[in-house]
Amino acid sequence: MWKGLAEECTELAKAALKLARYTRNENPTPITRGQAVENLVEEIADVNICINAVWANEIVSPDDIEKEERFKMARITQRLAAYRR
């Protein structure tokens, strides 16, 4: 389970970077924007499947994740507010 999650996260990162390269027209990639988006969607789905497997095995709960997300969103909001001043 952990190896699969790690591999899928790596593939998601690569797909996101490829789309970013396409968008910035940096180090051009031979795929189209549509293909890059399609790859990104596929990798997001794979990561979600792995995350659901972690939840199904009660290793962490969705509540744990939501609590961490709320904490991080509050911190980002504070930082953005400070930056805008």
Give tens-digit pLDDT for 21-69: 999 988 777 889 999 999 999 999 999 999 999 888 888 888 999 999 9
- The answer, yes or no, to whether residue 84 has pLDDT greater than 90, is no
Q: What is the pLDDT of residue 27?
A: 79
List, as own/partner pairs, every contact residues 5-10 make where C-beta atoms lie below 8 angstroms and the sequence separation is at least 24, other chains included: 5/47, 5/50, 5/51, 5/53, 5/54, 8/43, 8/46, 8/47, 8/49, 8/50, 9/47, 9/50
Which structural domain range is residue 19 located in?
2-60
Based on the structure, what is the number of domains in the chain?
1
Kindly state whether residue 23 falls inside one of the protein's structural domains. yes
pTM of the model: 0.78
Kindly state whether residue 65 falls inside one of the protein's structural domains. no
Kindly state whether residue 27 falls inside one of the protein's structural domains. yes
- The answer, yes or no, to whether residue 12 has pLDDT greater than 90, is yes
Give tens-digit pLDDT for 69-81: 999 999 999 999 9
